[in-house]
Amino acid sequence: MNFVRNIFNSRSNKGGNFFIQIKHILGFKPLNMKFYNKAFTHRSMNIRDKEGTPINYERLEFVGDAMLGAVIASHLFNEVPQGDEGYLTKMRSKIVSRDHLNELGKELNLIDLVQSKIAKDNFGNNIHGNLFEALVGAIYLDRGYDYCERFIFNRVIIPHVDIQKLEGKVISYKSLLIEWCQKEKKTFNYNVYEDTGNDDTRHFSVKLSINNKIISKARATSKKKAEEKASKRAFFAFQTKISRAL
């Protein structure tokens, strides 16, 4: 336990006082710093408590995800009384999308607070959103629902949630395109293949066909990204028709 305490205490000497940094991000005083220490501890540190339970932010992500969903759902329910369940679900998904959570984490520079044995340059982009969720979970466990709600309003809803803009925001061009194809009874196919070429990084290419005609092509570092990029290009090719149908 002394080793764990030393790891946590040492972070106050790096990048300023950890308590002050957390207080500045929250906008109010944290009470139990153990939750915030855990929220910024990566699994690579391989720290465990006296029962052998890993100490890292992964379980806090689960709590933070639930709290974000609850507060955002309540806000949308009150702000859009005419919205049905499907509309509210879609709008909540846009607000708590992985891309948006990553943007929120970057905005707060949360990665600067992480304790990790992995170089920060080697983290994937999702680390930013994961930390944001973990922070929300820590706030809930430390200060309860009211403070957690206040933080989400100040950091998410007030600066970033514009109902009208969100209604027109697309969070997945692939899902939108598939929905349109199914509604219009069109066949579609994503032909994905590895296309590393001369790149050091592994790449994938995709050809998107609709009714057996190639509509768009794309290339990216993952199959998912390549498919989404091809879907976006196809969406703009059929934007008018898709907007009318959906």
pTM of the full predicted structure? 0.71
Q: Tell me the domain boundaries of the chain.
A: 2-167, 173-245
Q: Tell me how far CA of residue 192 lies from CA of 4, 12, 199, 202, 206, in angstroms.
A: 46, 48, 18, 13, 4
pLDDT score of 234 more than 60: yes
The percentage of the chain sitting over the pLDDT mark of 70, rounded to a whole number, equals: 93
Q: What is the pLDDT of residues 66-90, one digit of tens each?
A: 999 999 999 999 999 998 998 899 8
Please state which CATH number belongs to domain 2-167.
1.10.1520.10
Provide the pLDDT for residue 11. Answer: 57
Q: What is the pLDDT of residues 43-52, one digit of tens each?
A: 999 999 999 9
d(CA 242, CA 246): 6
Please state which CATH number belongs to domain 173-245.
3.30.160.20
Annotated active-site positions, please? 65, 133
Q: What is the pLDDT of residues 174-213, one digit of tens each?
A: 988 999 999 999 999 999 998 877 777 889 999 999 999 9
Provide the pLDDT for residue 12. Answer: 46
